[in-house]
């Protein structure tokens, strides 16, 4: 047995027999289950790609060739083989091992890819700028990621480039986070279903020498034309191989060895079992084991069960309740499970659309629904909303179409790290015409803003909500109403604290507990701002501090500064947010708060600092 924690680089793999490699795969799978059960992380995708990753390192030269792991949450096996098993106890913890590809961790981490579908385009650039014609560049991309527009654009470009060593490995497990959807997933299904042809091809590949197999491959298009007709990769100019069993280690090695010397654009299609080796994950058809908190290995259940509802659950429960009364549509780009929308999708299949990893399409499709004067909720994570900037700006905001945006994971997201922090959406939305931007301070206010958006607002409206738990254990009243006016949560005369979201609720609690003479204002609408309340605030002529869990660009702070200048007020206005050049790393939300000035004590000290300077 190999001591995984003593691995320094992948070179040891070359000296192992097939039997030893299979034992290594089993050992890695057990290591992943044991460690992720303690730290949390991406489980299913990594369990499925064990054999394929080992085969890649066995066949190719890790010191020269380059592996680009699309998304990055399928890279844990890669991390183990490149010397980081010893760090897995710190996985996704502050200052510990990243759950994604990180160039600062290892020379083997070539392309940082927190968002999906970028590695084929990156490979195009790396390949064209490559001075070493013997270097192989390999993109490992999932079946859900490859249907994204960016990936298809990359394929469209790369397929025309001949004589270059570009290899696309399609890791097909029939799921992204949730089950793969769309017409292209049906194309993959057809590729999988050519059983007769695939059986002949598999048998010949196993028994024939490589040069005969390559000859067979050259005439395969004519043969399989009678068996399967749809192959988007060959239509785009790629030489397509597959599908192959990506969990058959010996066969993976043989296939990769056969295609290694080819200098044409290649797509190698491997089918893998997502969650392989862990029964709870293998049987998960909804994606619940894609990303997991610490869990009990025997039962598969989370170790810590909370009674409070998450904000995602509040939104989901609201939609389920309201759909009984009135019709509307829900659009979601590949986050059905993460957004707790499985039950809504089951009960109202004609009103729910998971469009896959296609945020741009989701935005324009929602605009089309709104154009018919139908209510539509577009639910997406803050970090993914950025991918649809142009479509939201031009096709929704500019044309003033009422789309209700549920922006999940707003603010610090914790363990997913720098590529997933929800710190940029406010700057994006605040720059757009017609759009309303809001954030509730608690669960009850979330219900109020949802009702306002559905039944009152006529313009596109954003409702941001954080990752994590709310203050509610159940929803007693789905009819609670609120408007966009700002609320005074605590009265005071020495300074004024303005903010929104759960931060302002925390600040109100701190001010009360510490008996600070501070007015606390809940600015639940960032756009439009409450002009009447701002006049009242600035007329006090005391310092104003604005708390925002976002980057400081085009924010509520800047809106208040503009208001101050236009109306010739003199109060000092202070910001408490993140500098635009600050990259917030992975770690628990609590640890990030402690290290970046958002803990309760840091908020208290900041307020006292302003009071002391008055």
Q: What CATH number does residue 447 fall under?
A: 3.40.50.970
Q: What is the mean pLDDT of residues 155-159?
A: 92
pLDDT at 189 over 60: no
Structural domain boundaries, residue 376: 311-464
Q: Cis peptide before 188, with omega less than 30 degrees from 0? A: no
Residue 510 located in a structural domain? yes
If asked whether residues 110 and 243 sit together in one domain, one would say yes
Instruction: Name which of 174-178, 323-327, 376-380, 600-604 the model is least confident about.
Output: 174-178
Report how far residue 127's alpha carbon sits from residue 447's, in angstroms, rounded to the nearest whole number. 51
Report how far residue 334's alpha carbon sits from residue 354's, in angstroms, rounded to the nearest whole number. 6
If asked whether residues 57 and 90 sit together in one domain, one would say yes
If asked whether residues 458 and 542 sit together in one domain, one would say no
- Band of pLDDT at residue 205, cut at 50, 70 and 90: low
Higher pLDDT, 191 or 333: 333
Residue 301 located in a structural domain? no
If asked whether residues 366 and 241 sit together in one domain, one would say no
* Distance in Å from the first CA to the final CA of the chain: 67
- Band of pLDDT at residue 160, cut at 50, 70 and 90: confident
Q: What is the mean pLDDT of residues 527-551?
A: 98
Q: C-alpha distances in angstroms, 183 versus 107, 187, 188, 345?
A: 38, 7, 9, 19
Q: What is the mean pLDDT of residues 423-442?
A: 98
Angle at 335 between CA 334 and CA 337, to 5 degrees: 125
Domain total of the chain = 3
If asked whether residues 544 and 415 sit together in one domain, one would say no
Higher pLDDT, 95 or 206: 95
> pLDDT tens, 50-68?
999 999 999 999 999 999 9
What CATH number did the domain enclosing 576 receive? Answer: 3.40.50.920
Q: Which of 241, 260, 281 is the last residue of a domain?
A: 281
Residue 180 located in a structural domain? yes
Three-state DSSP at 300 gives coil
Q: Which of 243, 259, 281 is the last residue of a domain?
A: 281
pLDDT at 217 over 60: no
CB atoms within 10 A of CB 274: 26
If asked whether residues 35 and 101 sit together in one domain, one would say yes
Residue 304 located in a structural domain? no
If asked whether residues 52 and 179 sit together in one domain, one would say yes
pLDDT of residue 162: 80
If asked whether residues 460 and 578 sit together in one domain, one would say no
Higher pLDDT, 189 or 290: 290
Query: Cα-flanking dihedrals φ and ψ of residue 597, to 5°?
Result: 75, 30
Q: What is the mean pLDDT of residues 510-530?
A: 97
pLDDT of residue 133: 78
pLDDT of residue 143: 83
Query: Quick one: what percent of the chain has pLDDT higher than 70?
Result: 91
If asked whether residues 73 and 180 sit together in one domain, one would say yes
pLDDT at 292 over 90: yes
If asked whether residues 69 and 216 sit together in one domain, one would say yes
Residue 429 located in a structural domain? yes
- Band of pLDDT at residue 297, cut at 50, 70 and 90: very high
Q: What is the mean pLDDT of residues 524-533?
A: 98
pLDDT of residue 227: 45
pLDDT of residue 186: 55
Q: Which of 235, 259, 281 is the last residue of a domain?
A: 281
pLDDT averaged over the chain?
Answer: 91
Encode burial over 516-553: b for 16+ CB neighbours within 10 A, e otherwise.
bebbbbbbbbbbebbeebbeebbebebbbbbbbbbbbb
Encode burial over 218-232: b for 16+ CB neighbours within 10 A, e otherwise.
eebeeebeeebeebb
If asked whether residues 222 and 120 sit together in one domain, one would say yes
Please state at what angle helix 600-612 crosses helix 502-513, rounded to 10 degrees: 60
pLDDT at 251 over 70: yes
Query: Quick one: what percent of the chain has pLDDT higher than 90?
Result: 80
Residue 289 located in a structural domain? no
pLDDT at 579 over 90: yes
> pLDDT tens, 451-495?
999 999 999 999 999 999 999 999 999 999 999 999 999 999 999
If asked whether residues 354 and 274 sit together in one domain, one would say no
The secondary element (H helix, E strand) that includes residue 170 is strand 166-172
Give all strands (DSSP E) within 404-464, no chain letters.
404-408, 436-438, 461-464
Tokens of 50: 């064990």
Q: C-alpha distances in angstroms, 475 versus 131, 304, 317, 412?
A: 61, 22, 8, 25
Residue 567 located in a structural domain? yes
pLDDT of residue 533: 98
């Amino acid at each position: 047995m190999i001591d995984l924690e003593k691995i320094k680089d992948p070179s040891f793999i070359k000296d192992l027999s097939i039997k030893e490699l299979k034992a290594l795969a089993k050992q890695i799978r057990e290591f992943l289950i044991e460690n992720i059960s303690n730290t949390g992380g991406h489980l299913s995708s990594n369990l499925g790609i064990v054999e394929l990753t080992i085969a890649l390192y066995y066949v190719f030269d890790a010191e020269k060739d380059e592996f680009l792991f699309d998304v990055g949450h399928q890279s844990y096996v890669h991390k183990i083989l490149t010397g980081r098993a010893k760090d897995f106890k710190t996985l996704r913890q502050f200052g510990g091992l990243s759950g994604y590809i990180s160039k600062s961790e290892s020379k083997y981490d070539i392309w940082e890819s927190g968002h999906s579908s970028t590695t084929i385009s990156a490979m195009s650039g790396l390949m064209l700028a490559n001075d070493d014609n013997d270097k192989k560049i390999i993109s490992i991309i999932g079946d859900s990621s490859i249907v994204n527009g960016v990936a298809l654009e990359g394929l469209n470009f790369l397929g025309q480039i001949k004589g270059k060593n570009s290899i696309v490995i399609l890791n097909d497990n029939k799921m992204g986070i949730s089950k793969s959807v769309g017409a292209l997933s049906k194309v993959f299904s057809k590729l999988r279903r050519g059983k007769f042809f695939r059986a002949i091809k598999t048998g010949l590949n196993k028994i024939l020498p490589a040069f005969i197999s390559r000859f067979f491959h050259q005439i395969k298009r004519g043969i399989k034309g009678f068996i399967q007709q749809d192959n988007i990769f060959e239509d785009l100019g790629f030489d397509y191989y597959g599908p192959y069993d990506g969990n058959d280690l010996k066969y993976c090695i043989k296939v990769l060895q056969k295609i290694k010397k080819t200098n044409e654009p290649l797509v190698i299609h491997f089918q893998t079992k997502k969650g392989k080796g862990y029964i709870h994950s293998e049987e998960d058809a909804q994606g619940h084991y894609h990303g997991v908190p610490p869990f009990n290995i025997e039962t598969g259940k989370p170790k810590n069960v909370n009674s409070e509802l998450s904000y995602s659950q509040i939104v989901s429960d609201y939609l389920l309740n309201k759909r009984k009364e009135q019709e509307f549509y829900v659009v979601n780009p590949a986050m059905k499970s993460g957004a707790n929308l499985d039950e809504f999708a089951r009960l109202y299949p004609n009103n729910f659309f998971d469009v896959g990893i296609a945020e741009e399409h989701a935005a324009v499709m929602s605009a089309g629904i709104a154009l018919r004067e139908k209510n539509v909720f577009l639910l997406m994570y803050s970090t993914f909303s950025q991918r649809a900037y142009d479509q939201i700006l031009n096709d929704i905001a500019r044309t003033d179409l009422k789309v209700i945006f549920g922006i999940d994971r707003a603010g610090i997201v914790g363990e997913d790290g720098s590529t997933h922090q929800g710190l940029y959406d406010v700057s994006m939305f605040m720059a757009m015409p017609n759009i309303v931007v809001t954030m509730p301070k608690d669960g009850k206010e979330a219900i109020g803003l949802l009702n306002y958006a559905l039944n009152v607002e006529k313009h596109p409206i954003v409702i941001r909500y954080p990752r994590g738990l709310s203050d509610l254990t159940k929803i007693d009243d789905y009819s609670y109403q609120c408007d966009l006016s700002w609320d005074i949560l605590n009265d005071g005369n020495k300074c004024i604290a303005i903010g929104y979201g759960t931060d302002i609720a925390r600040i109100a609690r701190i001010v009360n507990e510490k008996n600070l003479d501070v007015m606390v204002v809940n600015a639940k609408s960032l756009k439009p701002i409450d002009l009447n309340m701002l006049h009242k605030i600035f007329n006090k002529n005391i310092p104003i501090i604005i708390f925002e869990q976002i980057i400081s660009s085009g924010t509520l702070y800047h809106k208040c500064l503009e208001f101050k200048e236009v109306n010739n007020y003199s109060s000092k206005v202070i910001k408490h947010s993140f500098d635009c050049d600050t990259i917030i790393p992975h770690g628990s939300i609590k640890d990030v708060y402690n290290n970046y000035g958002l803990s309760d004590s840091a908020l208290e000290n900041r307020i006292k600092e302003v009071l002391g300077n008055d």
